[in-house]
Structure 1
Amino acid sequence: MDSAASGKPQAAGLHTLSKGAAVVVALLSGAPVQAHAETLRSALARAYCGNPDLNQSRAAVRVRDEDAPKALAGMRPKANIQASAGPEYANLRFPAGRDQSGQRLFQLEKYTGWPRGTTLNLQQNIFDGNRTENSVKQAESNVFAARATMRLTEQAILQNGATAYMNVLRDTAVMNLRKNNIAVLEQQLKQTQDRFQVGEVTRTDVAQAEASVAQARSEFYAAQAQLKNSIANYHQLIGDDPKSLQPGASVEPLLPTSLNDAIGVALIEHPGVVSALHQVDAAELAVKVAESALMPNLSLNAQVSNQYDSFLGIPGTRQFSAQAAAQLNVPLYQGGAEYASIRQAKEQLGQARLNADLQRDSVRASVVSSFGLLETAKASIISGQAAVKAAETALAGVREEAKVGQRTTLDVLNAQQALLNARVSLVISQRDRVVASYAVLGSIGRLSAQELDLNVTLYDPTIHYEQVKTKWWGTDTPDGR
């Protein structure tokens, strides 16, 4: 559009329209950025850094990272120490020969001791049916799927943030258009009342002008309420109330040139598809993990034990032992649970593959839909600009004709309402174009802080994964918690 918003902010820090003839806010204009003004990119940068939903999603990925060292534990040595101590009372009765009459004699002994001891157990798996190897690969696939899910959340936050930003601009412009409309209609009412006083018009004309003012005020209050709702959504997503918002720009230069190209990119790069494919990989590995229950296991076990007062509770006794042995476990039949687990894992693999197909279909539909909305918004802007110019010309003509009695007051009011509606529709179309461009970028999987070149430090999920994936011990997280 050719017209632009006035730089004078309201108390809420939002742009107002110029007084006089109603001027539409240029939501897509390249107006220079004022000092301390908020741009769409700076608002999205704040959402990227501080949105709780996105930070929660990043934390979920860090949680999933810990599955890798848990899986690696399967082939790492295990050691434990067992210690015991406690009082023991023994009353022993054992044969002591026979007396002269042949009766068996018994000797009684009573002991009070304190048996105590420690045992060190060591175990090292040599072969576990490839369970650990496949579990590690499965954990990695789940980590990659979690990262893709995080990217989905990032896309949703950025897209919703852009929508909230543009909604505030749209609702501010609509509210100011309706406010200016009240001033115009009040002036029209005054002129109608003056003409009624001199007998040029009837009471009907005055009533029509009064009704138009009342309706305009009602629409203004509704626009105010809508703006407050948009500001609340903006605060929720961005983290602060909007202040001096600058016009938003479309991201069409970042989009593929055709719908077919966009679909091709989306089927490869969209995080939903990527996550689903990693889930298929994880499900395939889950089948192998379940099958390892049918494989033999070989481990090396060692035990060192030192016991005191442990032999029948007799004080002063001591027993030291050390043992090392290889243990082979060959499963034959364990009730059938392992077979059920394998069948279950295979069904889950089939489900994961179907989900991947579903994600591809969903992504394709989203690309087609968002592309269509963008084309519609662009066409609506062109027709809307023409409609505004035509409505302005019509209003000017009707007013001139009304001065010479060729038009009624109602004709003037209708022409004024038509111009207002055209300007509101144009503002909505401008907003829709920006929002639709972000929707298309998200539908192909490229809506990211890096692609938008936001002034932020990009979050790298691989850093935490590399810090913990081979960690042997320690309860502190990499950030010190």
Structure 2
Amino acid sequence: MALAGLAAAALGAAPAQAETIASALARAYVGNPSLGAQRASVRAVDENVPRALSGYRPTITVGANAGTSWAQGHLSGQNYRQTMFPRSVGVQINQNLFDGFRTTNSTRQAETQVLGAREGLRDVESSTLFAGVQSYMNVLRDTAILDLQRNNVDVLEEQLSQTRTRFQVGEVTRTDVAQAESRLAAARSSVSAAESNLQTSIATYRQIIGIEPRHLAQGAPIDRLVPRSLTNAVQVGLEEHPAIIAALHAADAADIQVKIVEGELAPTLGVSGSLVQAYDNQTPGDRALNATIVAQLNVPIYTGGETHARVRQAKETAGQRRIEADATRDQVRAAIVSAWGGLEAAKASIRASQAQVDAANIALIGVREEARVGQRTTLDILNQQQELLNARVNLVVAQRDRVVASYLVAQSIGRLSARSLNLNVRLYNAKLHYDQVRDLPWGLRTPDGR
């Protein structure tokens, strides 16, 4: 590929030392901050499950109090003064027995949210890897274009030198010299613009991959992840895309929320027990141990309509989530069609650009030969050189677009991941943290020790 060859020459890459697109994506998978933040977000959602499960467990509270009581008065013909130090210590236990299935449904909802969060993580992973591909190929493209622009300056400097020599011997006019000078100035301006574009691409690469680009190797399309036809691509995308699956989980969670709120209208049954040791409660020096156990049944009769309004509100939200899931399907379908069209266009553009380069190169050789015998002017040579440069730039851009488009199709159908790319990394296992915290009844430290 011309793109790879020019980029390698500009960066001085040696095959044994080159950073490949796979190794760059592995760096992004491990160290990209946006992807790391999304993983932390999934771990936070995991904690909703033990929170919901806590509704099955008892709550235990220990309390104590201490104080001073002083009294004086006249009783039965006698004056009295009394000082006591009342104090007590006790424990209270509350256990839910039935809450209208709110705990059960809250647990189901939390587990559904966990599954949705994992799909959201897959979507962010796919977007991050695609952004890494774009930044990698943009550096290669802009490096190659800068090399072409610099080479064009060298060619135009030589052309200007020859034109000045011919002007001195009277073969051309001052106009020819001015035309060569003008085209050289424009070429130097293009070099400055190309340098600026390359610096922007390098900065983006650093942001996504995590290091400065050094010795980038050739980038190749990922055609093995691209379905055989647009119809197959759409079918795969509608079945596998994480955004669609996440939207369906969100709809399921919204449906469960309706049942949770409806549970507030059901009776609740619970039992509570307490054990209290008191001192100086009635008379100085007394001691008392009290133990109680009470079952409590609450039946809501009328709540002013507030709970009913929240049930209706939850139903509307559930309907909204289902509509959003349909909208997500349409968005994914449109993205697949667009990505597929871009891939086909890139393939055609490479063929056309290669033919343009070959033809422009032959034409330039012919124009130069004709100029030697006076049949062409200096401007004809300059114009043909510019056409060849444009053709080579177009080819570089088309080759970059061909690689990026193949990855875009893989992303649009939901198959762009570290696993599908066989990246040399330890794959992040979201289920591991979930299993570690799901049934934890206590503990303030996270599984990683924080």
Sort the TM-score into its range (normalised by shorter chain): over 0.9
Q: Does 1:379 align with 2:379?
A: no
1:437 corresponds to: 406
Tell me which of 324, 327, 342 is aligned to 2:311.
342
Quick one: which amino acid aligns to residue 461 of structure 1?
A
Secondary structure of the residue aligned to 2:63 is strand
Look up the match of 1:261: 232
Please say if residues 85 and 114 of structure 1, whose CA atoms lie closer than 8 Å, have aligned partners that are also in contact: yes
Give the Cα–Cα distance (whole angstroms) in 2 for the partners of residues 403 and 472 of structure 1: 90
CA RMSD between the two structures: 1.5
Q: Please say if residues 8 and 216 of structure 2, whose CA atoms lie closer than 8 Å, have aligned partners that are also in contact.
A: no
Does the residue aligned with 1:479 lie in a helix, a strand or coil? coil
Q: Distance in 1 between matches of 2:268 and 2:74?
A: 46
Counterpart position of 1:54: 35
Deviations 1:326-379 (A, max 9, x none): 111111112222112211111110111111011001101100111111110110
The amino acid of 1:387's aligned partner reads Q
Of the candidates 115, 133, 136, which is equivalent to residue 162 of structure 1?
Answer: 133
2:417 matches 1:451 = no
Question: Any idea what the Cα deviations from partners look like across 1:64-123, whole Å, max 9, x if unmatched?
Answer: 0000000000110111111000111223565x4xxxxxxxxx655331111100121111
Tell me if 1:40 matches 2:3.
Answer: no
Q: Tell me, yes or no, if structure 1 residue 140 matches structure 2 residue 106.
A: no
Match of 2:66 in 1: 85
Compared with structure 1, are the counterparts of its residues 366 and 200 closer, same or farther at alpha carbon in structure 2 (3 Å cutoff)? Answer: same
Q: Which has the higher helix share?
A: 2
Name the counterpart of 1:309: 280
Structure 2 distance, partners of 1:92, 1:405, is: 134
How far apart in 1 are the matches of 2:379 and 2:137? 35
- 1:75 partnered with 2:56: yes
Which residue of 233, 236, 248 corresponds with 2:204?
A: 233
Q: What's 1:329 paired with? A: 298
Where does residue 209 of structure 1 map in the other structure?
A: 180
CA contact (8 A) 1:76 1:124 kept: yes
Q: Distance in 2 between matches of 1:249 and 1:162?
A: 10
Q: Please give the residue correspondences for 1:391-470 in structure 2 after superposition, counting only pairs within 5 Å.
A: 391-470=360-439
Query: Structure 1 residues 15 and 223, CA, compared in 2 at 3 Å: closer, same or farther?
Result: farther
Query: 2-side partners of 1:284 and 1:434: how far apart?
Result: 42
Structure 2 residue aligned with 1:187: 158
Query: Which position in structure 2 is the counterpart of 1:351?
Result: 320
Give matches, 1:7-18, under 5 Å: 14-15=11-12
Q: Which whole-Å CA distance do the structure 2 matches of 1:67 and 1:175 have between them?
A: 52
Distance 2:353 2:89 in 1: 87
Displacement of 1:6 in angstroms is 6.1
Partner of 2:272, secondary structure, is strand
Whether 2:86 is the aligned partner of 1:121: answer no
3-state SS of 1:449 partner: coil
Contact 1:15/1:245, CA 8 A, preserved across alignment: no
Query: Are the structure 2 counterparts of residues 442 and 3 from structure 1 closer, same or farther at C-alpha, using a change threshold of 3 Å?
Result: closer
Which deviations, in whole Å up to 9, do the C-alpha atoms of 1:448-476 show, x marking residues without a partner? 00001100000010000001011111111
Question: Residue by residue, what CA displacement relative to the aligned partner does 1:382-424 show, whole Å, maximum 9, x if unpaired?
Answer: 0000000000000000000000000000000000000000000
Instruction: Supply the distance in 2 between the matched residues of 1:433 and 1:279 (Cα, whole angstroms).
Output: 35
- The unaligned stretches of length 5 or more in structure 2 are none
Instruction: After superposing the two structures, state which structure 1 stretch, 327-336 or 390-399, moved more.
Output: 327-336
Per the TM alignment, residue 36 of structure 1 is displaced from its structure 2 partner at its CA by 2.2
Structure 2: distance between partners of 1:293 and 1:4: 65
1:480 partner amino acid: G
| Matched residue type, 1:394 | A
Q: Which amino acid aligns with 1:469?
A: R
Shift of residue 15, structure 1, vs aligned partner: 4.5
Residue range with higher mean Cα deviation, 356-365 or 332-341: 332-341
Q: Is the 8 A contact 1:15 1:172 kept in 2?
A: no
Which of 251, 264, 267 is matched with 1:296 structurally?
Answer: 267
The answer on 1:5 being equivalent to 2:5 is yes
1:21-32 paired onto structure 2 within 5 Å = none
Listed one character per residue, the Cα deviations across residues 269-319 of structure 1 (whole Å, up to 9, x for unaligned) are 1111011000011001111100110111111211111111112xx311222
Identity of aligned residues (%): 53
- Counterpart of 1:118 in structure 2: which amino acid? V
Cα 1:182–1:206, aligned 2, differ >3 Å: closer, same or farther? same
Task: Check conservation: 1:75, 1:132, Cα contact below 8 A.
Answer: yes
The amino acid that maps onto 2:60 is A
- Whichever residue aligns with residue 279 of structure 1, its letter is A
Q: 1:8 to 1:361 in 2, by over 3 A?
A: closer
Q: Structure 1 residues 92 and 456 mapped into 2: Cα distance closer, same or farther (>3 Å)?
A: farther
The whole-number CA distance in structure 2 between the counterparts of 1:341 and 1:237 is 43
* Aligned 8 A contact 2:90 2:274 in 1: yes
Between the aligned partners of 1:277 and 1:447, the Cα distance in structure 2 is 20
4+ residue runs of structure 1 moved beyond 6 angstroms?
Answer: none
Is the partner of 2:227 in helix, strand or coil?
coil
Q: Which runs of 5+ in 1 are unaligned?
A: 17-32, 97-105
Distance 2:350 2:7 in 1: 23
Question: Could you say what secondary structure the match of 1:451 adopts?
Answer: coil
Per the normalisation by structure 2, the TM-score is 0.97
Q: How many residues are matched? A: 450
The answer to whether the 8 Å contact 1:185/1:213 transfers is: yes
